[in-house]
Every structure is written in structure tokens, then in C-alpha cells.
A = this chain, B = another copy of it.
Amino acid sequence: MMGVMRLGRVEVRVTDFKQSIDYYSNVMGLQLMAQENGRAYFKAWDEDDHHSLILVEADHPGLVHVGFKVRREEELDRFEKALEEYGVRVGRVSKGERLAEGQAIRFTLPTGQVMELYHEIERPGNGLKLNPDPYPANLKGIAPPHLDHLLISGDDVKGTTDLLMNVLDFHMSEQVILQEELTATFLFRTNTTHDIAVIKGPDAKLHHFAFALNSWDDVLRAGDWLARNNIAHDEGPTRHGVTRGLTIYFFDPSGNRNEVFSGGYAPGPDFIPVTWTEERFFTRGIFYHRGESNERFSTVFT
């Protein structure tokens, strides 16, 4: 069973719906695809699918669900069965519950987050399918090409990691082991360092979700754009030791942490994982250049 393709969507709560739509449209530079029933749907410019980010108005920020797209519709049944055999209770999301989506299966990770698997979604495409230029002419804002990964927190890091690896066939690129306890894992289905990562922390929480950028130069331009727009900054531009990624962290208007991420390496299913220990994780692992973490980065979850 090898059908999970990629992180397809994150649904997050925002406390000021209008301001958030403005932020994700004009600062992050996503395309607002639709607004309906209290939800706003966005896609990044290079994605073929209808949306990868869903905003829902709420009185506090955080993650509603994370969705991974599987290769074929019929795999939903197989994953449902495998999850239940593994001891996970699985529900169904009907087609039409949200816009442009088909049905999905839904379950809760040991760390408390709701995950969905789905295949069907409308596919408007990226508009670059016939003799194309390499990117659209009039991108605005940061304009990342696609959603990249997310980092979730909870107590049972091992439980979520095992489920993702054993049932959904995720692979591990890196792990953090502090005082012999598995403290964080970086897991992938695409050939990137992580599509999802799990870290010890409060249950059912989101640390950040990240959009991809093409280069360190794009990270600089993103930083410039964020500063110009007075977006709350968390860290960067810098390099992570973990994953080698080039990054900036910042906050959306509701306090959900965002990242733009470039670089890293290209692991396959046979990649020999990297291990970080207390010897270097807090110095070179998190922020490679600075050599120490920042308080906010370690403590703010939504």
C-alpha cells in the first residue's frame, strides 16, 4: 500500500476572517478560489488542485484538519481497512461537505490532530500546460508555488510516527532523540525532507505549516515582503540544521505560524535517517546559523 502522494491541504482556524483572506491573498500571495459557508479556499499558483489551504473563522487559531491526497479513489477503502486493523477509528467525509472536494476518510492521530485521506478534488490546473512560460507573469506577494509541509505537536510522537510509517508508508528523513526519548520525527512521501513532522508538545496543536520556495533568493524576497507589510516575524532568514532547509517563520494575523521553505535534500524510501541528539539539536539543529533556538519558536503552538 503506497498510495499517499503528498500533503494536499490544511484547514486552519482564523480569528479575523476578512483580514486573514487579505493576508493569504496579498501577503502570502495565494489565489483565493472561493468563499462559501464561512470557509475561504486558496491554491498556490503551481498547484493543479482546487485548493491547498482552507480558512475557517473561529474564536481561536489552530488546525482543523490536515489532508493527504492518495493516488487513486479506491485506495480510500484499503487505507480505511488498514487503519482500522491498526486500531484507529475511521470516519467518512461525504463529497460536498466542503467545496470542490470528493469524499475522504477521517481519523485522529495519536497526537490528537484530525487527518483526512482523499483522492477526489476539482483540478483547475496551473494554467501552464501548453508551450508554457516557466511561471505566470503577474504573481503578487510571496507567491510560493505550492504547499510544502506541516509540523504538529503532541505527547505521543512515537505513536503518530508509527502510524504514519507503518500504515500510511511514510519514510523517515530525520529524528530527534533527547535523553533516549523520540522527541521529533520528519516524515515524507514525496522526495523532500518532510511532508509532515511531529514534535513533543501540547496535544492536537499546530506548530506551523509551510509553503515551498524555489531558492534562497526567494527567501530573501519573502523576508522583504513580510517586513514591508509589517507581518509578525518569528525567525530567519536562516538555515535549519535539521533538513538543511532555508527558511523564514512568521505569523498569520490570527497567530498561526507560517513558514516559507526552500532547499533541503531529496531522500528516497531507502534514505538512511539522520539522528539529532541533545549534543547539537538545540544549537545547530534548529537554527544552524544562530546556534540557539528562540523562546517563542519553542513555546508558541496554535
Contacts and interface: CB of A to CB of B under 8 A. Distances in A.
Interface of A: 2, 5-6, 46, 48, 69, 71, 123, 125, 128-135, 137, 145-146, 190-192, 212, 214-217, 220, 223-224, 226-228, 230, 233, 236-239, 241, 244, 246, 248, 263, 265-266, 268-277, 279-281, 284-285, 288-291
Given A134-B241, A217-B215, A227 B289 contact: yes
Given A5-B269, A190-B191, A270-B5, A236 B289 contact: yes
Nearest to A292: B233
Contact of A284 (B131, B241, B284, B290): B131
A241 B132 CA distance: 7
B217 A217 contact: yes
A186 to B, nearest CB: 13
Given A190-B266, A266-B146, A272 B224 contact: no
Contacts of A268: 5-6, 69, 190
A270 B71 contact: yes
Contact of A233 (B237, B277, B290): B290
Q: Which 10 A-B pairs have CB atoms at the shortest separation, nearest pair first?
A: A131-B280, A217-B217, A134-B244, A223-B289, A190-B191, A5-B268, A191-B191, A2-B2, A227-B288, A133-B228
